[in-house]
Amino acid sequence: MTATWRSLDRLRGGIGLRLLARVLLFSVAITLLLTLFQLYVDYRRDVRAIDSRMSEIAGSYLQSLGEGLWNLDRRQLELQIEGILRLPAIRFVEIRETTDRADPLLVSGGRHQDSAAMSREFPLFHMARGQQEQLGVLSIDATLDDVYRALLDKAIVIVTSQGATIFLVSFFILYLTHRLVTISWAIRSPPAAAATALAPAHAEEQGRARPRRGCVRDHARDSGARLRRPSRERTAVP
């Protein structure tokens, strides 16, 4: 029991806390680096996905949009813009006629932002007399709000789970260190304990040895007295 308390005091003021602090700092640093790297990889992947989605919009809608702009069919263009706005991350779509007319056709949908996270423009063509003629421009703005929100949720999950793992592992290491120190003290204790246990037995043997020496002395005195008594008796006879 004394060895256990000594090991606890040793851990409290020595290697235990230092080891725990170093393990925590190292684990937190590694976790932050891995988390930032994972978030960066996810961010680049999501941005590429949005850019690829814009390219798919161009491949799927440009021809039909060119036809609608050629026919000046505002209703058709509005329906197609509504379909584009249903796609993830798309916030603003505009179709602008490029013509010398005083009142060019302009159809838009969604909410326009001056500083859009991603913005692309695609020319709208129409085949006329065997030649492609540019009629207008399709502008698409995308936002990264959903990407940032997903990254924040993922960061919270990663930090929470990894933080719990770090603390559990750190305290488990501290427990192992405590056990090792306790065992080390226990290994060093038996000689002292054995000496303490042998001391009463040695004292008891010494206590037994004293009466024996006393008996020997008494026996020696008795023998000397018996030897002296006959000589006195011989001396007294005339």
Co-location of 121 and 230 in the same domain: no
Co-location of 199 and 142 in the same domain: no
Q: Does residue 28 surpass a pLDDT of 60?
A: yes
Co-location of 131 and 47 in the same domain: yes
Give the structural domain span for 116: 22-156
pLDDT one-digit tens code per residue, 66-94: 888 888 889 999 999 999 999 988 999 99
The Cα–Cα gap between 30 and 9 comes to 30
Residue 11 lies in a domain: no
Report the mean per-residue pLDDT for the chain: 75
Q: Residue 28 is encoded by which pair of tokens?
A: 């937190």
CB 24 within 8 A of CB 173: no
Domain of residue 96, CATH code = 3.30.450
Last residue of a domain, one of 137, 156, 175: 156
Co-location of 50 and 150 in the same domain: yes
Q: Residue 202 is encoded by which pair of tokens?
A: 């040695």
Average pLDDT over residues 136-145: 91
pLDDT one-digit tens code per residue, 113-126: 777 788 899 999 88
CB 68 within 8 A of CB 76: yes
Residue 5 lies in a domain: no
How confident is the model at residue 41, as a pLDDT?
Answer: 94
